Amino acid sequence: MNPTLKFVTLKEDKRVFKDFRKLYKTAFPKEERVPLGPVKAKALTENSDIVCAYEKDEFIGILSLVYRHDVVYVFYFAVTDKKRGGGYGGAILQKLKDDLPHKKIGLNIEITDGESLNKAQRIRRKNFYLKNGFCECGFKMKERGVLYETLSFGGPFTREEFQDLMKNYFGQKIYEKYYEFPED
């Protein structure tokens, strides 16, 4: 673990939002981004966080987290271009696991089967998470037309847990509008 890596939440320091927003807009394609206003507002409640990772005072990456019971869902995770490939992604995940030792951590990645323009990138991303201790959960979900598979660390993350978490976070109407669970 990187002992100089620190997390700063939006609740602790409102200034981190500037770093979060900049990386969020460059790291994720438009079709994968939700409006930041509600994400920011929800991050000021107890069931969500916006987190920026820093090494000393240098900005390294972002996490958007959603909490429900014993589950933490990583909504967004990215490392700055400058630091990508330098072990910081793994260090951020390790710190997250260390900070939440009794929680299951779930996240979604774009599916790796089938054809896509960025298939090699998708496979590298999945291998990165598997190397960092995450496991396949055995279900897929579609969010805003993009098909994802779910991975977890610290125990199985079920479809029902994911559905409950997202309904609690977004509310029933928005959840039903944007989320589908196709049968495999």
Residue ranges of domains in the chain:
5-180
Using alpha carbons, select from 90, 78, 93 the residue that is nearest to residue 29: 78
What pLDDT is recorded for position 10? 96
What pLDDT is recorded for position 180? 87
Angle at the Cα of 127 from the Cα atoms of 34 and 62, rounded to 5 degrees: 35
118, amino acid identity: N
The mean pLDDT value for 37-49 works out to 93
Write the DSSP symbol of residue 31: G
Read out DSSP for 43-71? TTSTTEEEEEEEETTEEEEEEEEEEETTE
Q: Which CATH class is domain 5-180?
A: alpha beta
- What pTM did the predictor assign? 0.92
Does 160 score more than 90 pLDDT? Answer: yes
The mean pLDDT value for 136-154 works out to 91
- Report yes or no: 63 and 24 within 8 Å, Cβ to Cβ: no
The tokens for 84 are 């990508």
Angle at the Cα of 9 from the Cα atoms of 11 and 75, rounded to 5 degrees: 110
Residues 118-129: pLDDT tens digits? Answer: 888 889 999 999
Phi, psi of 179 (to 5 degrees): -115, 135
Q: Report the phi/psi class of residue 98: left, alpha or beta, with left for phi > 0 and alpha for psi in -120 to 50.
A: alpha
**How far apart, in Å, do the first and last CA atoms of the chain sit?**
37
Any idea which of 80-94, 121-135, 137-151 has the lowest mean pLDDT? 137-151
